[in-house]
Amino acid sequence: MADVFVSYARLDKARVAPLVAALERRGWSVWWDPDITPGEEFDSQIEAQLQAARAVVVVWSPTSVVSRWVRGEAREAADRSILIPVRFEGARLPMDVRAIHTIDLDDWNQDPGSAAFQDLCRAVEALLARQPPATAPVAEARGAAAAGTAPAAPSRVAICVLPFSNMSGDLEQEYFSDGISEDIITDLSKVSSLAVVSRNTAFTFKGKSIDLTSLARQLKVQYVLEGSVRRAGGRVRITAQLIEAASDNHVWAERYDRDLNDIFALQDEISQAIVKALRLRLLPEEKKAIEQRGTTNLDAYNLYLMARHHYTGGIQSDIRKNDTVIRLCRRAIDLDPGYARAWALMATSQRYRLGISGQGDNGDAAATRALELDATLAEAHAAKAGILAAQGSYDAAQAEITMALRLDPESVDVLKEAGRLAFLRHRVPEAIGHWEKVFGLVEMDFATGGLLITAYTALGDTASVQRVARATLARAEKIIAVDGDNGSAMAAMFSCLLYLDETERAREWARRAMLIDPDNLMMRYNLACDLVINLRDFDLALEMLGPYCSNTGREQLAWLKTDTDLDPIRADARFQAMVEDAERRLAAAGT
């Protein structure tokens, strides 16, 4: 079977042939079916080749975008996270794949040295490096060769790992049970004969009462793994059960009661037990990949999980949250200097902190170290992209975010950064594609809702603004119910209520936010945006922005200069003076 499957419309054969030849000259095997005619034989061959491929290049053109064959192949590849879309003639992509970065090839001119073709090659290399080739047994391969046929592609078993329940009796231990679940998902994703539902999709079912048959039908999986984690002192108890969704029968179940120091070996044991229960073949390189973890230091692992929990549970503009994440990651790195994930997370939080406050490290050293340790870590590339964008190096940032999307198109960190970069480059529809995906994956994320409202407002899409405003309002209300001092959530409520024409109620929340959290700079910024765009109260908006401009960092200042919400006051001399003062302050500080 080929390394790369190329999906295209037959009328595009003349432009696809040189592309295939250029890929083959790089040493990759390519399947693109130039000769067979669609029919039943075609169906069986294409299914086998598509399932075996480690990368799928979909060639979008005005012809192929209406092809049910090409659209179906693209969806299959996207579900397996191996889709690399390329485009000719600015073809308008189908809705369900627009969030994935697409390489424009109109100017490649069959030149293997062109920037676009090199971008494509990097994307292929990243996917092939992530997925070792599946090798058939020697006897099977010889038999197929003797018969003059290619060996059949191995069928992939689809599975969803639901978030394990925290049974520790302590909500503070939630980060640990979530971390165990994420690691098992990651381990099983390394098995070529398994198709594993992404972490972000699986976690949308956390804490919900689930009908497994309906879930399996919705996610198109045959099996569901569920379980629980109880941590007490130096011991951990994990229960896990693998269920065949169609019959609701237990295929495998086990309870483990171990010393906490055995947690890494225990995760390996669970993953391998699942593979064995499903009667799948675990290749030697896959077994080795499962056993290779970011760290073997239990304390460093625990600190990283805590840092990750704080990071995902807050908003990027919260300085206190960023400081907590930085401290935890730094301690994890002290314990294990080779822990790439801790370096990458610290880099992201350092960059956000500098961007908000104008003080601290920009995260570049940490991101560089993360990439040195693990060049296949998507979050490390996303962190580097954010740092480059903050410096105004948008082309270099785009190259990093493109690589990050190739490595992990489902990563919330990557999608957020991709949306942010697209917005800074005035690619509003592209930003919306990334942010909508995040908004659907992270149930309590109200900050992304605010970004979507800004983007849809810029496009004049009132219906989408109100849809997102209703959903964001509900999320902010839930946050305030458990965290009554959360000024950022109050600002989000103010914004949503304005867009939903509840002006008086909105004003009440704005007053409450300013009384409770007056030093929250990002809250001030968000309130100012809504004062401009909705209430047209330019004087009060400028008053809100004064402290923000006097204290913010370069990245947030760049955002202010781009944000379409503030367009109505850009010509105001007071606004221009604030921006100029901020630029002089930052230049003097060398940041």
* Span 236-278, pLDDT tens digits: 899 999 999 888 888 899 898 888 888 888 888 888 888 888 8
Are the beta carbons of 60 and 134 closer than 8 angstroms?
no
Query: Residues 172-220: pLDDT tens digits?
Result: 678 888 888 888 888 888 787 888 888 778 888 888 888 888 888 888 8
Structural domain includes residue 435: no
| Enclosing domain of residue 202 | 157-293
Q: What b/e sequence results for 414-445 when a residue is b if at least 16 CB atoms lie within 10 Å of its CB, and e otherwise?
A: bbbbbbbbbbbbeebebbbbbbbbbbebbeeb
Structural domain includes residue 417: no
Structural domain includes residue 449: no
Query: Residues 363-395: pLDDT tens digits?
Result: 999 999 999 999 888 999 999 999 999 888 999
Query: Residues 557-579: pLDDT tens digits?
Result: 888 888 888 999 999 999 999 99
Structural domain includes residue 491: no
| Number of domains into which the chain is organized | 3
d(CA 467, CA 490): 19
Q: Are residues 65 and 182 in the same domain?
A: no
Q: Are residues 170 and 270 in the same domain?
A: yes
Structure tokens, 292: 């290779």
Taking 70 as the threshold, does the pLDDT of residue 147 lie above it?
A: no
Structural domain includes residue 484: no
Q: How far is CA 309 from CA 175, 196, 292, 345, 379, in A?
A: 6, 23, 23, 11, 15
Q: Are residues 275 and 220 in the same domain?
A: yes
Identify the pLDDT of residue 141: 35
Domain-terminating residue out of 245, 268, 293: 293
d(CA 413, CA 105): 28
Number of helical (H) and strand (E) elements in the chain, helices listed first: 26, 11
Taking 90 as the threshold, does the pLDDT of residue 325 lie above it?
A: yes
Are the beta carbons of 432 and 452 closer than 8 angstroms?
yes
Domain at 343, CATH number: 1.25.40.10
Q: Are residues 288 and 200 in the same domain?
A: yes
- What residues are paired with 239 via a beta bridge? 228, 255
Q: Are residues 121 and 192 in the same domain?
A: no
Domain at 213, CATH number: 3.40.50.10610
